[in-house]
């Protein structure tokens, strides 16, 4: 019959043999065939008359013989197998076809006990005819409704104890190996595996506000061609220098035919580099961003407990924090930090300061705000040296503000309770300032004519790579799953023997989205290649660079806000920043 052939075909793969010529396996399959025959014979003589065997029962026999064949051959886990088989048999529904299924269900316990005996002592198949064995079992079931061989089944306590002992030893060894890998891989990779206590300090993100393109006036916009012309007309650059800025602009990844935006003073017909005009630029960001946060989240300025503002190249007195506190009339006990000179990675440092301040704050549910921006007016370079003209082609207007708390919910006196959208899982900072080469690779100074600007060393890519390597090595220990650490550890060992470079671990086993500081197309290209990121991972960073340019410390928040609609609950976002000093910082956020 076809159904018999199907049973044999289904059972065969579980027997783990190349052919079915093995005598023992033949007996197991023959037993399954006879089991079916016995059931069919009973049905033909039952009061129900001649009916078809339910497909569910055939499936149960199918699974029974498959499981029995598999585990009889291996002769292990016999107790668990018997239990599984019994469960399988008892799963036959009683709704079809009527009385027969009820009868089958009522006898599954006896059938499973007999099968348990068969698995316990498979040699019974070697001494008797399979047909005789199953026929006797069937006859006994029909006559007594009791298992015929249950009394022969003995519970082997010694065997059970032996299995438990073996399992305990194996599990212990596995955990020991994992712990050794967890701590020892740090030595292989040249990193410390000690977690700082502050890495687990709670910080929750409630919202992000940015200074958007819609708020940037058309007269602030430039294209590659207009920027080239302005360097000649307004900045009195030579044709060669203007062409140099244009080439850097065109190769940087910024939009060349669409507008990117600069500070109002720089794009004016007669730019003035004064403290007053620089203050106006800073105030424009601070007033815009804080007003949006206060309006959107029903927060008053007097509700703010911690305020941190970072701006690298403009450090006025009074500070930017004082500017905000004065304009919005905040409380006199607000904790404020103005962070300067920390470069494009300053936002991570500002968040670190905000987290520490919130953690120590006596208020039950304190509110913190971080504002990140760069002031371009005071530090735009009007000189002639090409090494200092590069920032003119890359840096653009931008600012971001973030609302933080130390609890997942924020109690707002005049509005509904706010729920956090992200939790900071990890913050890892790396500083190579002890190296003279790293310390001076991005250097603010006057040129020989007294024009103030920032000089970029040719060693910046090399130093950035070194800082990022140290930073992500520490981060890898914190976020990568064990299987990836093991895989990469083995890969490192092989590469060390063969003299090859191991590359980077697969960080996409731990994070789902990456915000790469939009420092330039070359920066994103290098990280995409070194980390083997697919295009869709680096696409958000490229898009922000294209439409906004290098916005210094604020760029990672424009990227974060851009990808936020695609981040689902439980996913993780990695922000990767680096800047002068030389510093590399990483933040990993989890979507709530």
C-alpha distance from residue 264 to each of 278, 376, 470 (Å): 10, 10, 39
Q: State the Rg of the chain over Cα.
A: 36
Q: What is the dihedral of CA 204, 323, 399, 341, to 10 degrees?
A: -90
Of the candidates 557, 525, 578, the residue with the CA atom closest to the CA atom of residue 344: 578
The verdict on 521 and 569 lying in the same domain is: yes
What percentage of the chain reaches a pLDDT higher than 70? 66
The SS3 assignment for 256 reads coil
Decide which of 133, 155, 177 is a domain's last residue. 155
Residues spanned by the domain of 470: 199-591
472 neighbors 507 (Cβ within 8 angstroms): yes
Of the candidates 135, 554, 171, the residue with the CA atom closest to the CA atom of residue 346: 554
The verdict on 547 and 498 lying in the same domain is: yes
Q: For residue 458, what pLDDT is reported?
A: 84
Decide which of 190, 209, 241 is a domain's last residue. 190
The verdict on 240 and 280 lying in the same domain is: yes
Residue 588 has pLDDT above 80, yes or no: yes
C-alpha distance from residue 368 to each of 328, 425, 462, 561 (Å): 15, 18, 36, 19
How confident is the model over 7-62, as pLDDT tens digits? 444 444 433 333 334 444 444 445 555 554 555 554 445 444 344 444 544 555 55
The verdict on 171 and 240 lying in the same domain is: no
The verdict on 234 and 355 lying in the same domain is: yes
The verdict on 186 and 284 lying in the same domain is: no
Give φ, ψ of 457 to 5 degrees: -75, 155
The verdict on 178 and 261 lying in the same domain is: no
Q: For residue 146, what pLDDT is reported?
A: 34
User: What count of other Cβ atoms lies within 10 Å of the Cβ of residue 223?
Assistant: 16
Q: For residue 25, what pLDDT is reported?
A: 43
The verdict on 420 and 304 lying in the same domain is: yes
Number of domains in the chain: 3
- Under the banding of pLDDT at 50, 70 and 90, the label for residue 250 is confident
How confident is the model over 555-571, as pLDDT tens digits? 999 999 999 999 999 99
When comparing pLDDT for 233 and 475, which is higher? 475
Of the candidates 587, 426, 592, the residue with the CA atom closest to the CA atom of residue 514: 587
Highest mean pLDDT among 123-132, 323-332, 404-413: 323-332
Give the H or E element holding residue 120.
helix 108-120
The verdict on 39 and 70 lying in the same domain is: yes
The verdict on 276 and 173 lying in the same domain is: no
Q: Length of the chain, please?
A: 592
When comparing pLDDT for 505 and 177, which is higher? 505
Residue 393 has pLDDT above 50, yes or no: yes
Q: What sign does the dihedral 287-288-293-299 (CA atoms) show? A: positive
- Under the banding of pLDDT at 50, 70 and 90, the label for residue 144 is very low
The verdict on 555 and 476 lying in the same domain is: yes
- Under the banding of pLDDT at 50, 70 and 90, the label for residue 91 is very low
Average pLDDT over residues 397-420: 90
Cα gap 304→299, rounded to integer Å: 8
CATH number at residue 545: 3.40.47.10
Token pair recorded at residue 552: 């210094």
Average pLDDT over residues 289-301: 95
- Under the banding of pLDDT at 50, 70 and 90, the label for residue 493 is confident
Q: For residue 304, what pLDDT is reported?
A: 96
Token pair recorded at residue 414: 């005049």
Token pair recorded at residue 527: 């990280």
The verdict on 143 and 173 lying in the same domain is: no
Token pair recorded at residue 339: 């962070």
Distance of CA 368 to the CA centre of its chain: 26
Q: For residue 168, what pLDDT is reported?
A: 64
């Amino acid at each position: 019959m076809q159904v018999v052939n199907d049973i044999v075909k289904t059972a065969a793969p579980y027997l783990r043999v190349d052919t079915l010529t093995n005598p023992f396996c033949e007996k197991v399959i023959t037993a399954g065939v006879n089991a079916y025959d016995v059931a069919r014979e009973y049905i033909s003589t039952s009061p129900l008359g001649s009916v078809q065997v339910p497909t569910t029962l055939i499936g149960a026999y199918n699974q029974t013989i498959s499981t029995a064949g598999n585990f009889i051959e291996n002769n292990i886990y016999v107790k668990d197998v018997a239990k599984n088989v019994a469960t399988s048999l008892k799963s036959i529904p009683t709704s079809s076809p009527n009385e027969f299924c009820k009868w089958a269900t009522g006898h599954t316990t006896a059938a499973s006990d007999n099968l348990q005996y068969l698995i316990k002592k498979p040699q019974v198949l070697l001494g008797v005819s399979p047909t005789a064995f199953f026929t006797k079992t069937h006859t006994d079931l029909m006559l007594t409704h009791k298992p015929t061989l249950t009394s022969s089944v003995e519970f082997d306590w010694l065997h059970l104890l032996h299995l438990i002992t073996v399992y305990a030893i194996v599990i212990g060894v596995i955990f020991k190996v994992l712990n050794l890998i967890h701590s020892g891989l740090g030595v292989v990779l040249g990193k410390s595996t000690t977690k700082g206590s502050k890495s687990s300090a709670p910080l929750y993100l409630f919202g992000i506000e940015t200074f958007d393109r819609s708020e940037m006036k058309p007269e602030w916009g430039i294209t590659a061609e207009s920027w080239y012309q302005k360097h000649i007309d307004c900045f009195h650059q030579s044709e060669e220098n203007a062409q140099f800025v244009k080439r850097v602009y065109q190769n940087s990844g910024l939009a060349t035919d669409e507008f990117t935006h600069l500070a109002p003073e720089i794009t004016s017909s007669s730019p003035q580099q004064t403290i007053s005009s620089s203050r106006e630029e800073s105030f424009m960001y601070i007033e815009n961003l804080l007003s949006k946060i206060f309006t959107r989240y029903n927060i008053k300025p007097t509700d703010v407990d911690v305020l941190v503002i970072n701006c690298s190249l403009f450090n006025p007195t009074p500070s930017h924090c004082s500017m905000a506190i004065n304009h919005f009339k905040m409380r006199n006990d607000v904790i404020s930090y103005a962070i300067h000179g920390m470069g494009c990675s300053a936002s991570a440092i500002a968040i670190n300061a905000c987290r520490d301040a919130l953690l120590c704050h006596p208020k039950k549910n304190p509110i913190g705000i971080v504002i990140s921006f760069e002031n371009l007016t005071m530090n735009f370079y009007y000189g002639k040296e090409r090494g200092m003209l590069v920032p003119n082609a890359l840096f653009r207007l931008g600012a971001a503000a973030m609302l933080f708390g130390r609890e997942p919910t924020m109690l707002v006196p005049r509005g509904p309770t706010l729920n956090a959208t992200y939790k900071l899982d990890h913050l890892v900072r790396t500083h190579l300032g002890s190296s003279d080469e790293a310390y001076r690779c991005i250097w603010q100074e006057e040129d020989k004519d007294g024009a103030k600007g920032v000089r970029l060393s040719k060693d910046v890519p090399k130093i950035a790579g070194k800082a990022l390597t140290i930073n992500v090595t520490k981060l890898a220990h914190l976020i990568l799953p064990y299987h990836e650490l093991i895989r990469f550890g083995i890969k490192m060992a092989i590469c060390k023997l063969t003299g090859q470079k191991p590359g980077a671990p697969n960080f996409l086993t731990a994070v789902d989205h990456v915000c790469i500081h939009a420092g330039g197309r070359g920066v994103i290209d290098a990280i995409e290649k070194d980390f083997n990121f697919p295009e869709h991972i680096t696409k958000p960073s490229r898009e922000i660079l294209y439409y906004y340019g290098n916005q210094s410390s604020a760029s990672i928040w424009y990227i974060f806000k851009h990808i936020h609609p695609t981040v689902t609950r439980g996913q993780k976002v990695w922000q990767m920043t680096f800047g002068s000093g030389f510093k590399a910082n990483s933040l990993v956020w989890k979507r709530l």
